[in-house]
Amino acid sequence: MGSLSFERVSKRYGQGARAVPVIAGLDAQIADGEFVVIVGPSGCGKSTLLRMVAGLEDVTGGEIRIDGRVINGLEPAQRDIAMVFQNYALYPHMTVFQNMAYGLRIAGLGSHEIERRVGHAAQILEISELLARKPRELSGGQRQRVAMGRAIVRQPKVFLFDEPLSNLDARLRAQTRLEIRRLHAELRTTTLFVTHDQVEAMTLAERMIVMNAGAIEQIGTPESVYERPASLFVASFIGSPPMNLLRNWAAPGAATGASTAAALRDVLGTIVPPNAVLGVRPEDAVIVDSPPFNGLWPLTVEVIEMLGAERLIHGRVGTEAIIIRQEASRPAPRAGQQVSLQISPSKLHTFDARTGRRVENAAD
């Protein structure tokens, strides 16, 4: 009904020698009914990719298919897609009803069918009582719903969302996130959702595509991306606070001569090659009540941030800065204190320092 596939899709702006490549040879398959989130920092090409699916940007190379049909050259209206814009892009001079009905009217549907579809969508989104209003009389959240309503009435094969939550305040954003999930569970329409917010990506996605600099870093379920990041970029981008990355742990310490490597010799000696970058999630390090000995990391506590249910402990292992997340119910260390960290070798991520790709270590 609505599968979407990218084959060697590329995008360049400009021509000849001055061309600026934005997306270089990208492959991905999205199954019918799937909710896929494209996440990445601004400028990574994620919005460009979405706009290429929508037909608002030309495809420089490769093929985009919906249900096996190449859509590269089709007009946006012929692609069987619907898009929700960041600023909603509601027609300001039309009522909510007219906004939602406009596309159907252009498509030449009968007025009964239009009323039925708009009424149904309005009912799903709980905006039935707003149909006669103009967009300027609506709140941000209501406009957002109308924008979704305009997408739903088209009954497209693919929904495209371009950062639709970034104009909402934090509370409304969390609520709308849930509603989008609920909506997707009800309609089961293939959805491509672009965001730069990794929390949004983690909570919404069935599968996520992490993009950086015009290329895909990793495709996978939120769990697999979080637990087994494929690259240093993914490791640092997904998760808040981000994964601790120890890049220079093998270098000798500046003043004292006590390098991180010396401190960790017993722990890491056999598992990790010295040129690898080490990664540890803040919640995977546990402070234990025993002096440093074989298998434990020595941590010097520097700053403690209390967040309510949990606290963040900033400190150093040797010369490397580390953040640890700890439940608030556990006893808090004091600033300046030396404590021991227990990190299961299976929770240790290693990355090739040169390529930035994940190295599967022996403990896995």
Peptide bond before 241: cis, by omega within 30 degrees of 0? yes
Site string for other proteins, 138-167 (x = CB under 8 A): ------------x-----------------
Interacting stretch for other proteins, rule CB under 8 A, among 40-48, 84-92, 117-125, 235-243?
A: 84-92
Residue 120 near other proteins by CB under 8 A: no
Residue 103 near other proteins by CB under 8 A: yes
Q: Residue 268 and residue 265: Cα distance in Å, rounded? A: 6
CB of 162 to other proteins, least distance (A): 9
Q: What is the DSSP string of 99-143?
A: HHHHHHHHTT--HHHHHHHHHHHHHHHT-GGGTTS-GGGS-HHHH
Q: Residue 357 and residue 347: Cα distance in Å, rounded? A: 17
Q: Which one of 22, 49, 71, 81 is in contact with other proteins (CB under 8 A)?
A: 81
State how far Cα 177 lies from the chain centre.
13
* 313's tokens: 């402990």
Check if the beta carbon of residue 284 is closer than 8 Å to that of residue 297. no
Q: How many other C-beta atoms lie within 10 A of the C-beta of residue 160? A: 24
Interacting stretch for other proteins, rule CB under 8 A, among 11-19, 102-110, 210-218, 249-257?
A: 102-110
CB of 208 to other proteins, least distance (A): 24
CB of 68 to other proteins, least distance (A): 22
Q: In terms of CB distance, is 19 or 363 closer to other proteins?
A: 19
Check if the beta carbon of residue 181 is closer than 8 Å to that of residue 174. no
Residue 95 near other proteins by CB under 8 A: no
Residue 54 near other proteins by CB under 8 A: yes
Residue 77 near other proteins by CB under 8 A: yes
SS3 call for 260: helix
Q: What is the DSSP string of 277-299?
A: EEEE-GGGEEEESS---TTEEEE
Query: Which residues on neighbouring strands pair with residue 211, listed in sequence order?
Result: 216
* 30's tokens: 């999205």
Q: In terms of CB distance, is 90 or 225 closer to other proteins?
A: 90
Interacting stretch for other proteins, rule CB under 8 A, among 20-28, 66-74, 88-96, 137-145?
A: 88-96
Interacting stretch for other proteins, rule CB under 8 A, among 17-25, 79-87, 335-343, 354-362?
A: 79-87
What is the contact surface with other proteins in residues (CB under 8 A)? 54-56, 75-78, 81-83, 85-93, 102-103, 106-107, 150
